[in-house]
Structure 1
Amino acid sequence: MRGQIVKEFVVEEKSGFDRVQLNFSSYKGVSDINKMYMSDPVMIHSHLSKVNILPDFSYHIQDAVLTANLNHSDVEQESFGKRLSSKLFATSEGDFDHTWEVGLSEQYAYLLDLHFGIGQANVDLSNLKVKRCKITTATADVSLNYMEKGRNLTEMDTLLVKVNMGTVDGVNMTHANARNMIFEVNYGQVNLNFDKHFESDKPCHIMTTVGAGAVYILLPAPQNPYLVKINSTAMCRKKLPSYLTEVGDKVYASKGYEEGVKNLITFEIDVSVGSLVLK
């Protein structure tokens, strides 16, 4: 595209660390984060337009941790209203000005701290070793997509997705292999798809909170042991599958639930205004 600047940032260090802490922050753009078929721990490729300031990139190794930082700030300091109108009336990826490709390697264990301002974040952590992942956005939508045969190669402690306004889509979320999953949206939607067979020998806690909007969750098969705890107001419409049995005040159990089971899945869902659909 005319007037674009192409920048690439690569960490070529390959020894002296056993974990990679990636701190990535972009105020605007369409970002793709996924596995790359290279041995470098971090590779970031960008196409930038209308830039007033170039991204700031640095990395260092300390205490067996490689820390890589990329920060792209907005010197124009767009107002929330301007960011909102840009989001609502965007018709293509180009309307978000910048594109980012972030490549990770299966050879390293990652701690991810990803921030997106406005735009779209497409995150595919299939076949990677991710021990912790935090995603925050202002008005960017987040798509979390695990491939059908693309599990996290290590146990994740916490997966956190926090969006001020937008949509969170999660596909094959069972494959995150996480002890804790937290999804928070002030205004917007959360759509989560869990595999029918939630293969885990450890407990898993999944918390979903929406201030105003909608929650849609495709639950694991009824034979899996799980509880669903719902906190909602009269301004939230609810639709639940018939096989769930109410075992307490707004607490529902699957057919496979047994008290004291070690691999219990617990869904905690809080919707203030909007709708909740479980299937």
Structure 2
Amino acid sequence: MQRYDILKKIAAELEHGEVNFSTNALVALKLQNAINDPDCHIDQATRLIKAEPLLSARVVALANSTAFNPSGRPITDVRTAVLRLGFRYLRSLAAAVVTRALASPLSAQDRAMAARLWEHTAHVAALAQVIARKVTHLDPETAMFAGIVHEISGFYLISRSAEYPGLLDEDFSAWCETGEAEVGRALLQVLEVPQTVVEAIEVCWRGFLAMPPISLGDTLLLADELAPVESPLRDLDGVPREGTAASIDLLIGEDTLLAIMHESEDDVRSLTAALRL
């Protein structure tokens, strides 16, 4: 079966709801559903988070990051962390668990690819949060959420690569042109990702960055380009992309983008560390 036919087949399965989630992903999905209810109480959310150790650890870690806890006073329990973050950021962390759990690779090569893809994802999510807050002046939580799910189709295809040997072995440019659109849209629909976020991810797929950046799509694409860890699904051969941190020096008011990012290094570093799973 040709690669394009495989991608079409996988996308068709997703459109029919044929996707399996691990236990921790199911807990995270349950949390997402609960906090979408306006009547959800903090104690209910706390109980759900405590049911998933990995999610509990990430919630506390994010609450202790400099972006959320500039005083440095340690937060050591889930309930206090939930109060500090609020439900909107909990949605992003739940999405992080679901995204990472989609990939259940079998081979050492697939495990390495999934690990590198998540490292890239964590950087993009952290950078998107800071860029939204300081550059494009958009909702930082939505930007972080978009960063977390922007490579979700890649994780899913890694999990399916054992069924289809050679699916991701080479020619990642072809994957970018077909796989993200075919599988990505279907998977984002299954996970009920808001349309505004889907549209931002579409901008990232197309790779056209507006200058100056103003939209959520621009925010996400700029974060993707500034991320120090490249996605393994891009065949870059170690050559920096046009528009990466090495060449971007966009004037924004009295500051340059790179100056802003330099000032935000601690925030980005702590957010990235908190998002690592």
TM-score range, shorter chain: under 0.3
TM-score (norm 1): 0.27
Structure with the greater relative contact order (CA < 8 A, sep ≥ 6): 1 or 2? 2
Between Structure 1 and Structure 2, which shows a larger proportion of strand residues?
1
Larger Cα Rg: Structure 1 or Structure 2? 1
Between Structure 1 and Structure 2, which shows a larger proportion of helix residues?
2
